[in-house]
Amino acid sequence: MRESELIERLESLFQSSSPRVIRGIGDDAAVVRGAGYAVVSVDAMVDGVHFRGSQLSPGEIGHRALAGALSDLAAMGSSPGEAYLVLGLPHGSDRDDTLAIAEAVQQLAVRHGVAVLGGDVTASPCLTVSVTVIGWVADPGMVVGRDGARPGDRIAVTGSLGAAGAGLALIDASVPADELADEVRAALRERYARPEPRLAEGQLLAELGASSMIDLSDGLAHDAAELARRSEARIELSLAALPLAAGVEQVAARLGADPRVFAATAGDDYELCVSVPGAAADRLQAAWPTASAELSWIGTVVEGRPGLVFSDAEGELTGYEHSF
Amino acid sequence: MRESELIERLESLFQSSSPRVIRGIGDDAAVVRGAGYAVVSVDAMVDGVHFRGSQLSPGEIGHRALAGALSDLAAMGSSPGEAYLVLGLPHGSDRDDTLAIAEAVQQLAVRHGVAVLGGDVTASPCLTVSVTVIGWVADPGMVVGRDGARPGDRIAVTGSLGAAGAGLALIDASVPADELADEVRAALRERYARPEPRLAEGQLLAELGASSMIDLSDGLAHDAAELARRSEARIELSLAALPLAAGVEQVAARLGADPRVFAATAGDDYELCVSVPGAAADRLQAAWPTASAELSWIGTVVEGRPGLVFSDAEGELTGYEHSF
């Protein structure tokens, strides 16, 4: 397929009916009616660095790239608006694979009310999917940064941890899947291959008084340490309090790892880690909808030297080593 | 240099004092006070595809990537606001080279009042610089698309053509430089390596009544055809009217090419091609500041089948073949 043909196919795929879009794909730039403050993030995923093309379907690669970018908006408490896609395609890329990447991007986008308004398609030595996302907030005071954690705050995470890391271990075949029920294995793979950005939860946490927030892409031990660093605060977490995803215990055992250390250090879960002022925590928990991903309270912000400690860990935790 | 160190260096390099920036680098996303309508474009430049890393300095690579993206905003008549940078760095990238790329981006950004607010740094098999730019316009009616050319309009280009293509031919050493004066040679190289986005000219053309506009990245023959296609209009240009950059005639002669055909088909000039309603053209020319890049009137929009023709060309023009 010639580049112009591909671009035509992408143009017709990424039609948007958003009333805020003045000009979409097909011009030098897109034009969108702004709505207060723009919240902007860019996330690049490169074959061999952030995933292995041989291990994921084209649709999973596309989904994962947009999900990773949207997760950054979730972590600011922002609703999503538009996305712009850069596809770097190796020589000889299959046209159907390329369209499958784009279709998965569009499906996830539509589900979250995101308009995909353009981007760039280029040759590249390896498959690269880079996504710019823009969200809009009416009040910049409602945006939650990484720097607002204060002593007395309580720390929570959404959902469950370790699933994506366990899913990757299964995909890598470094762990035989025989001991896991089919549906558990499939769920772990799905958490790695098609993570769901916690957009609704992020906005709710912002509304209900979160003081700082970050999404878990590099693993809790890394990302909570970043909250501590940016907030100049001391965060104390408990490994025992971490919510493990189903199957993580078995996978970690086969890797010879402590399951809670594994869950704290494996990346790609795209859950949210949040600090909440002590006075607001009970109110937040009471107001938390049962339909949302569960909240687990895993620690507190204490007085003392800035940094992250696990009160019940032996030694310092470092990132779980991915196989690539 | 570890990634965290590099990111710290980039954070301190890309400090912005713009009062519109609420949160810059260092969070999950940047937060910017919107100003009307957002004009957004993404442009990726990949080593071996859009340039050869061995032929350009790191600073030239950085400059060129941001210039290419800003040129898209120029072609909409938008003023620039913010930029977001994705750096894909091959294994073993030199830290000083990486910082030189970023410094050149920041220099060009500052010169045009652009705040660089973040992005992403990732490993990649080859050097990739991808830039998202956002501009802001108060009135979406002032944005100039590719689709507004109408019969009776006159067509103009800014500046001069063929310079970047000639510069590349000199860099490729497919043309010996001996016949060219040093300053002509240096100017041609500069036009390829450090193009200047026509931001002021683009805004002025929008204010003075341009009906459609595009920037010349793939060459006039390609890009004016795109104006014709999007406008469903027939554009008739004259090769004889094209403004050739100094030295293009000699370089084209050494390549065995007609200099005007060369200028019409070589890419990367980043000049603007614009249509202007006939009634507004004289007024626009009269109001055109002498300090701006010169305008050359090179053709008209006529009735008839949509497409681009050169009235004085032998046969159809196709793109000048780059050596990569």
CA A132 vs CA A291, B43, B68, B190: distances in Å: 29, 11, 17, 30
Report pLDDT for B2: 67
For the residues B106-124, what does the mean pLDDT come to? 94
Q: Is the pLDDT of residue B59 over 80?
A: yes
The alpha-carbon gap from B302 to the nearest alpha carbon of chain A, in Å, equals 22
The DSSP string of B123-190 is E-SS-EEEEEEEEEES-GGG---SS---TT-EEEEES-BSHHHHHHHHHTTSS--TTS-HHHHHHHHH
- Radius of gyration in angstroms for the set of CA atoms belonging to chain B, rounded to a whole number: 20
**Secondary structure letter of residue B244 according to DSSP:** B
State the maximum Cα–Cα separation within chain B, in Å, rounded to a whole number. Answer: 61
Q: Of all helices (H) and strands (E), which one includes residue B22?
A: strand B21-23
Q: Which of B101, B86, B79 is nearest to B13 (CA)?
A: B101
Report pLDDT for A70: 98
The DSSP string of B193-229 is HS----HHHHHHHHHTT-SEEEE-SS-HHHHHHHHHH
Residues of A in contact with B49 (CB under 8 A): 122-124
What's the rounded Cα separation, in Å, for the pair A119 and A110? 17
Q: Do B31 and A49 touch (CB under 8 A)?
A: no
pLDDT in tens, B68-99: 999 999 999 999 999 999 999 999 999 999 99
Report pLDDT for A6: 86
What's the rounded Cα separation, in Å, for the pair B212 and B276? 7
pLDDT band, very low/low/confident/very high, at B321 (cuts 50, 70, 90): very low
Which residues does A193 contact at the CB level (< 8 Å), separation at least 6? Answer: A56, A57, A60, A63, A64, A167, A171
Interface test with A, best of B2, B22, B27, B322 (most A CBs within 10 A): B27
Q: Do B75 and A132 touch (CB under 8 A)?
A: no
The alpha-carbon gap from A49 to the nearest alpha carbon of chain B, in Å, equals 7
Report pLDDT for A15: 87
Q: Rounded to 5 degrees, what are φ and ψ at B124? A: -160, 150
Which residues does B255 contact at the CB level (< 8 Å), separation at least 6? Answer: B169, B174, B175, B262
pLDDT band, very low/low/confident/very high, at B315 (cuts 50, 70, 90): confident
CA A53 vs CA A90, A101, A129: distances in Å: 12, 12, 11
The two domains A3-139 and A154-310 share their CATH topology (first three levels equal):
no
Report pLDDT for A2: 66
Q: Is the pLDDT of residue B281 over 60?
A: yes
What is the domain partition of chain A in residue ranges? 3-139, 154-310
CA B180 to chain centre: 25
The alpha-carbon gap from A133 to the nearest alpha carbon of chain B, in Å, equals 9
What's the rounded Cα separation, in Å, for the pair B5 and A132? 24
pLDDT band, very low/low/confident/very high, at B4 (cuts 50, 70, 90): confident
The alpha-carbon gap from A87 to the nearest alpha carbon of chain B, in Å, equals 9
Instruction: Write out the two tokens for B191.
Output: 């036009």
Report pLDDT for B7: 85
Residues of A in contact with B24 (CB under 8 A): none
Q: Is A292 helix (H, G, I), strand (E, B) or coil?
A: coil
Which residues does B216 contact at the CB level (< 8 Å), separation at least 6? Answer: B157, B161, B223, B267, B269, B270, B271, B272, B273
Report pLDDT for A1: 54
Q: Is the pLDDT of residue B320 over 60?
A: no
What is the CATH number that goes with domain A154-310? 3.90.650.10
Report pLDDT for B66: 98
pLDDT in tens, A1-34: 567 788 889 999 998 888 899 998 888 999 999 9
Encode chain A (324 residues) as per-residue pLDDT tens digits: 567 788 889 999 998 888 899 998 888 999 999 999 999 999 999 999 999 999 999 999 999 999 999 999 999 999 999 999 999 999 999 999 999 999 999 999 999 999 999 888 999 999 999 999 999 999 999 999 999 999 999 999 999 999 999 999 999 887 776 778 999 999 999 999 999 999 999 999 999 999 999 999 999 999 999 999 999 999 999 999 999 999 999 999 999 999 999 999 999 999 999 999 999 999 999 999 999 999 999 999 999 999 999 999 887 775 444 433
Q: The domain A3-139 belongs to what CATH superfamily? A: PurM-like, N-terminal domain (3.30.1330.10)
Q: Do B46 and A137 touch (CB under 8 A)?
A: no
What's the rounded Cα separation, in Å, for the pair A102 and A87? 9
CA B192 vs CA A320, B189, B253: distances in Å: 45, 5, 19
Instruction: Please report, rounded to a whole number, the percentage of residues in chain B having pLDDT higher than 70.
Output: 97
Q: What is the ipTM of this complex?
A: 0.93
Q: Do B32 and A37 touch (CB under 8 A)?
A: yes
Report pLDDT for B322: 40
pLDDT band, very low/low/confident/very high, at B318 (cuts 50, 70, 90): low
Instruction: Write out the two tokens for B26.
Output: 């260092």
Interface test with B, best of A2, A23, A28, A124 (most B CBs within 10 A): A28
Instruction: Write out the two tokens for B137.
Output: 């316009």
Residues of B in contact with A29 (CB under 8 A): 39-41, 72-73, 75-76, 78, 133, 135
Inter-residue contact B48 to B126 (CB < 8 Å): yes
In chain B the first and final C-alpha atoms are separated, in Å, by 32
pLDDT in tens, B152-168: 999 999 999 999 999 99
The overall pTM is greater than 0.90:
yes
Residue type, B279: A
